[in-house]
Amino acid sequence: MQTTTFLDIPPEFGLQMIKAQAMERSLPFDEPPDGVTLHLPLGQIHACGENGGLRLTLNASDDVKLHLLQEVVDHRLDEAAVALDRRWSLTNPGLVPPNLTFATVASCEHVYPSYYRVRLSGASLERFSRDGLHFRLLFPPESHIGQWPFVSGSGRVEWPGGISQWHRPVYTTRSVDPENGTLDFDVFAHEGGRVTDWCKTLQPGMDVAIMGPGGEWLPDAAWIALFGDETALPAIARILESLPTETSGVATILVSDAHDKQHLKTPSGMAVRWLVRGDGISLLNELKQLEIPDDNRFVWIASERSEVNQARDMLADRGLQKSEMRAASYWSRQQS
């Protein structure tokens, strides 16, 4: 599938901006005679000069990937304040975005002291088994209950009340059963959390809107190390259960309650270490002691923002390239 837009900017400036963004993020690209082509997991972005401006053409294998690719481009252009009045050629005005799915609650169980497991049921959940570990729950502002995002005439998504008024927390798809049309995800329960309170009210048959999949996919290396706190446990569990059987490495998981330890399906060469919060226990200390092979390696860590920033610097100091690590902030101590 394809969509295109014209940017009224000098083509030389636009092409240089795109190449700079690609090199900064280590994205593969080539330079055919007429411009620049970026190759992303979602699809391709081709840029070329046209009538004194820049033509962007996006290609992807399906409508969801094309929409997500367009949103990536829109986000970068908005950040740079470039061609804010742009219009895309492929539009479905008035329809919900192709990555928005409606489902119903099948069940909600308090499976561990600190976790709820929510099961959704629907006809369009199979795609959440691939192309991204995460999705967003959608909670509209009180003044727009029952209204949902829609595609405008320009091909961009409009959010009733403004996107900043929506609560859109990110969760990890724990498992998908395509045959039965179900999706499971776990919610780390904490007092006063909006989704925690929502879980307490869930009843079978209640409607839910989710947007995705998105975010990272599975690490690809012969040796993998995973580090995470309570908020990252669902993602670590999903990754472990999806890795090739020949993968080796270690997963280190920090939990608040010893009863939150779970039996996780893992490759035989992957060890799982559980830590319970207490004096002197930290993921960073464990990371410092980690023995890392010289090649074919990947280190993944997700936890509190300041801890993740330190971990990223620590791994870089130990010689890991950007392509050999993933350090993701799942929450911030300042916002909790």
Distance from C-alpha of 103 to C-alpha of 123, rounded to nearest angstrom: 8
Closest CA to 202 of 101, 80, 117: 117
287 belongs to a structural domain: yes
In this structure, the answer to whether residues 254 and 160 fall within a common structural domain is no
pLDDT value at position 174? 96
pLDDT value at position 131? 84
**Backbone φ, ψ for residue 42 (5° rounding):** -80, -25
63 belongs to a structural domain: yes
Give residue for tokens 């993998």: 224
Distance from C-alpha of 160 to C-alpha of 143, rounded to nearest angstrom: 9
Please tell me whether the peptide bond between 213 and the residue prior to it is cis, using omega within 30 degrees of 0: yes
In this structure, the answer to whether residues 104 and 210 fall within a common structural domain is yes
> Helix-strand-coil percent breakdown of the chain, rounded to 5?
25, 35, 40
Count of structural domains within the chain: 3
33 belongs to a structural domain: yes
pLDDT value at position 244? 96
Closest CA to 53 of 15, 88, 20: 15
Residue ending a domain, choose from 159, 194, 214: 214
Q: For 106-159, what is each residue's pLDDT tens digit?
A: 999 999 999 999 999 999 999 999 889 999 999 999 999 999 999 999 999 999
Q: For 236-257, what is each residue's pLDDT tens digit?
A: 999 999 999 999 999 999 999 9
For the chain, list residues with pLDDT below 70: 335-336
Is the whole-model pTM more than 0.85?
yes
User: Looking at residue 284, which CATH number applies to its domain?
Assistant: 3.40.50.80
Residue ending a domain, choose from 214, 248, 276: 214
In this structure, the answer to whether residues 208 and 229 fall within a common structural domain is no
pLDDT value at position 335? 62
Q: Judge contact between 247 and 219, C-beta under 8 A.
A: no
User: Looking at residue 104, which CATH number applies to its domain?
Assistant: 2.40.30.10
Write out the residue range of the structural domain in which residue 185 sits.
100-214
User: Looking at residue 9, which CATH number applies to its domain?
Assistant: 3.30.310.50
